[in-house]
């Protein structure tokens, strides 16, 4: 505590009469409080390089110009310059205020002009930025706001290409107009909330909290104000209230740091109990609240133990992980909260406990919802795929933005530094070491992670963070399905002290490509290849069987929850798409592997027959596989009960062997009664010997658009 008192004294003067006693909250006037306005309506848009032409299109934000071409036209999408413009007439009463534009996401570079005067710029398509436009506005008059946006790949802005995923051009996340007094909590500290809440020594007995507030004074004179910290619990009862009188110097930004302690806190316990407090920081002058920022507080302690797993507040919790790309079919990245909610509901349904938000900073709404739902989050920057040796400054900038903008989200447990960036080795080692130091300086209380596509844990490119992530696709890109078992056994013998996460694994699954029988090696890679769903089902069954038995892998993440766009490649007879998702691009079809994980992970009842889309069968004798987490299923084939079954990899995996199908239609049904409720699943297979040589992935089938089926 002593060092924080010294820090305060070095930056401000403590006014006479200061009392550290926590007082009853006092009511103040709100007539000069911060104003935050939605600024998403009334924009105009056009492509190309002449912003003065007349053919402008009226649009609303969020908006992208690549929602179609990046998803359907391999290497033929528009990556270039476009313009957005809007008029704004500030009321004369706002003269003397500070007025900011805050953009949550513009891809991938932006230049902002007010009345044709340059106001500011930003490089990076996934982090927010804020610009003070006060001095450029004419009050009481109409002002033109023009944004020049460009999503051309650049060697100095990460990601440096569109190869692993497309950077959808546009102002694709919300825009806000923020109005404050000349004394305000910082808006332009990398577009952060200006408030940073740290926590230490968190237990059921007590939690130590430090709140840092960054304060701007643009009045040009010394100012006496109060800074008021208050904490309310979930029930909106006041837990803590603290006021400090301070004297601000006439210029510059000040950091005010204060320590608190909460006794007998209600802890944030992930999905089990995502309990949130509310922290409010107010600036008060002459008994008026002149600024206020509210932030979430989830009191928790993360501890990852090598060869063991995650302990949340001392309690071991499973790390059932999925990855998420943010784009949707025909929407691109220009999503509203409804789409984010749908994604979150699907991820919650499958039973996941943790999400890797790959490979870039994602929506502020999404992080906030993860706080309140209780997911444990891996957040990362888009340093992916390759290094150019020119991206260092921008990678550092985007890491600072990621951390400062999301510092207060209790759901985030780790910051990601890079994904599969290799040569030049010495450059990548140096940059990632620097990024790790930067992350630890910005936030010493969270883990850092690097990700390698090598299956060598001691590779020097990947040994510069707290955690090592390994991306491997055994049986798809290399090896066979059983190669994972060999690899993990060798790794746990040689690297038991390392914190190792299986950060990506998966395989393509086109639901219009089906096979009755599959091998232990996938048909990768190319447009004409067979990406059948049946192989994906077997892949995930075998992989989870191995992962679940090896705590050396302290967490694992399926690649991916949803199919997503890959605008520079086309595979499996579908243009511009990665189909490793457990759910189709439009979120309408949950593939067989989705139910495999749901049965193994979720507490929701699951009773599911696999290979339901392999409708036309050429094998008269065939197994039937059922996933059930509610007990032993009764199987009926054409109304005849089948008794004999065997257990598969886990206790939800039921295999009924040597089922004989009849010519023509076969009705397959399973039933389970649990807690006086009857559950059932039913599918139809058609058997004919003529189907024996049927190519279920023939071009006329494969080219059929699967969206919505």
DSSP per residue, 43-78: EEEEESS-TTSS--EEE-SS--S-TTHHHHSTT-S-
Q: Give the H or E element holding residue 688.
A: none
pLDDT at 53 (0 to 100): 73
Strand partners, 321: 354, 557
Q: Which residues of the chain have pLDDT under 50?
A: 1-31, 697-709
Q: DSSP E strands: which ranges in 579-652?
A: 607-609, 616-617, 621-628, 634-637, 640-642, 646-647
Please choose, from the candidates 407, 392, 468, the residue with its C-alpha nearest in 3D space to the C-alpha of residue 439.
Answer: 407
In 165-266, at which residue ranges do the beta strands (DSSP E only) sit?
170-171, 175-180, 183-185, 195-200, 206-217, 223-232, 238-248, 253-263
What does the alpha-carbon distance between residue 354 and residue 348 come to, in Å, rounded to a whole number?
10
Q: How far apart are CA 86 and CA 509, in angstroms?
A: 43
Q: What is the pTM of this model?
A: 0.93
Using a pLDDT cut of 90, give the percent of the chain over it: 89
Q: How far apart are CA 60 and CA 67, in angstroms?
A: 14
- Paired tokens of 403: 């951390």
Q: Is 329 helix (H, G, I), strand (E, B) or coil?
A: coil
Q: Are 524 and 508 in contact (CB under 8 A)?
A: yes
Name the catalytic one among 181, 223, 401, 420.
420
Q: Which pLDDT belongs to residue 251? A: 87
- 37 catalytic, yes or no? no
Encoded tokens for 678: 């009857």
* Predicted pLDDT at 122: 98
The residue with tokens 């003397």 is 96
CA dist list (Å): 701 to 138, 249, 440:
61, 72, 52
Sheet arrangement for strand 13-14: 13-14, 238-248, 223-232, 277-285, 288-297
> Which letter does DSSP use for residue 358 in this model?
T
Cα–Cα dist 65/82, whole Å: 9
Q: How far apart are CA 278 and CA 641, in angstroms?
A: 57
Query: Residue 704: its pLDDT value, please?
Result: 34
Q: In angstroms, what is the C-alpha Rg of the chain?
A: 28
Residue 695, pLDDT score: 57
Strand pairing class (81-88; 43-47): antiparallel
Tokens at 385, concatenated: 């795929």
Look at residue 11 in the predicted model and tell me its pLDDT.
35
Q: Vertex 26, ends 21 and 30: CA angle to 5°?
A: 135
456 CB neighbour count, 10 Å cutoff: 12
Residue 4: its pLDDT value, please? 38
């Amino acid at each position: 505590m002593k060092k924080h008192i010294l820090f305060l004294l070095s930056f401000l003067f403590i006014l006479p009469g200061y009392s550290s006693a926590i007082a009853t909250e006092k009511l103040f006037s709100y007539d000069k409080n911060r104003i935050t306005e939605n600024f998403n309506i009334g924009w105009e848009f056009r492509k190309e390089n002449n912003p003065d032409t007349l053919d402008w299109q009226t649009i609303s934000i969020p908006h992208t110009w690549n929602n179609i071409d990046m998803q359907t036209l391999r290497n033929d999408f528009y990556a270039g310059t476009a313009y957005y413009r809007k008029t704004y007439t500030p009321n004369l009463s706002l003269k003397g205020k500070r007025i900011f534009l805050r953009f949550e996401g513009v891809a991938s570079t932006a230049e902002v002009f007010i009345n044709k005067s340059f106001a500011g710029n930003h490089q990076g398509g996934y982090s927010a930025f804020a610009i003070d436009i006060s001095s450029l506005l004419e009050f009481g008059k109409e002002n033109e706001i023009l944004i020049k946006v460009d999503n051309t790949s650049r060697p100095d802005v990460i990601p440096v290409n569109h190869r692993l995923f497309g950077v959808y051009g546009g102002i694709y996340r919300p825009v806000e107009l923020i109005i404050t007094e000349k004394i305000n909590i910082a808006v332009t500290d990398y577009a952060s909330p200006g408030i940073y809440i740290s926590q230490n020594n968190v237990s059921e007995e007590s939690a130590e909290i430090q709140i840092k507030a960054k304060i701007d004074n643009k009045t040009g004179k010394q100012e006496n104000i109060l800074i008021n910290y208050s904490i309310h619990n979930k029930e909106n009862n006041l837990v803590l209230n603290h006021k400090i009188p301070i004297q601000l110097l006439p210029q510059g930004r000040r950091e005010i740091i204060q320590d608190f302690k909460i006794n007998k806190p209600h802890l944030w316990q992930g999905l089990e109990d995502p309990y949130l407090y509310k922290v409010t920081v107010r600036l008060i002058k002459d008994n008026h609240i002149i600024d206020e920022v509210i932030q979430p507080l989830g009191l928790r302690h993360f501890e990852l133990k090598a060869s063991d797993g995650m302990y949340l507040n001392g309690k071991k919790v499973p790390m059932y992980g999925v990855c998420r790309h943010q784009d949707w079919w025909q929407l691109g990245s220009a999503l509203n909260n409804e789409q984010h909610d749908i994604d979150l509901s699907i991820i919650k349904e499958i039973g996941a406990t943790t999400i890797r938000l790959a490979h870039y900073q994602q929506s502020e709404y999404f992080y906030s919802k993860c706080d309140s739902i209780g997911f444990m989050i891996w957040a990362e920057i888009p340093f992916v795929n390759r290094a150019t040796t020119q991206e260092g400054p921008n990678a550092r900038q985007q890491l600072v933005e990621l951390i400062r903008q999301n510092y207060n989200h209790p759901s985030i447990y780790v910051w990601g530094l890079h994904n599969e960036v290799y040569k030049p080795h010495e450059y990548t080692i140096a940059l990632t070491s620097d990024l790790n130091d930067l992350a630890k300086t910005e936030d010493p209380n969270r883990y850092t992670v690097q990700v390698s596509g090598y299956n060598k844990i001691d590779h020097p490119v990947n040994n510069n963070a707290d955690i090592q992530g390994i991306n491997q696709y055994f049986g798809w890109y290399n090896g066979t399905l059983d190669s994972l078992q060999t690899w993990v056994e060798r790794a746990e013998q040689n690297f038991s002290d390392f914190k190792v996460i299986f950060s990506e694994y998966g395989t393509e699954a086109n639901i219009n490509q089906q096979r009755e029988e599959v091998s232990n090696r996938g048909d990768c890679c190319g447009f004409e290849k067979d990406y059948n769903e049946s192989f994906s089902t077997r892949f995930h069954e075998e992989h989870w069987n191995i992962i679940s038995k090896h705590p050396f892998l302290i967490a694992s993440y399926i690649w991916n929850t949803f199919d997503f766009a890959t605008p520079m490649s086309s595979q499996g007879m579908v243009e511009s798409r990665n189909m490793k998702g457990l759910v189709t691009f439009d979120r309408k079809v949950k593939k067989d592997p989705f139910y495999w994980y749901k049965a193994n992970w979720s507490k929701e009842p699951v009773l599911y027959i696999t290979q339901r889309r392999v409708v036309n069968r050429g094998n008269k004798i065939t197994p039937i596989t059922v996933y059930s987490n509610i007990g032993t299923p009764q199987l009926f084939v054409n109304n005849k009960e089948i008794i004999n079954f065997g257990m598969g990899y886990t206790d939800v995996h039921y295999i009924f062997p040597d089922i004989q199908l009849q010519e023509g239609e076969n009705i397959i049904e399973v039933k389970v009664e649990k807690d006086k409720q009857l559950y059932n699943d039913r599918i139809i297979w058609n058997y004919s010997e003529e189907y024996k040589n049927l190519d279920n992935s023939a071009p006329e089938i494969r080219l059929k658009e699967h969206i919505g089926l």
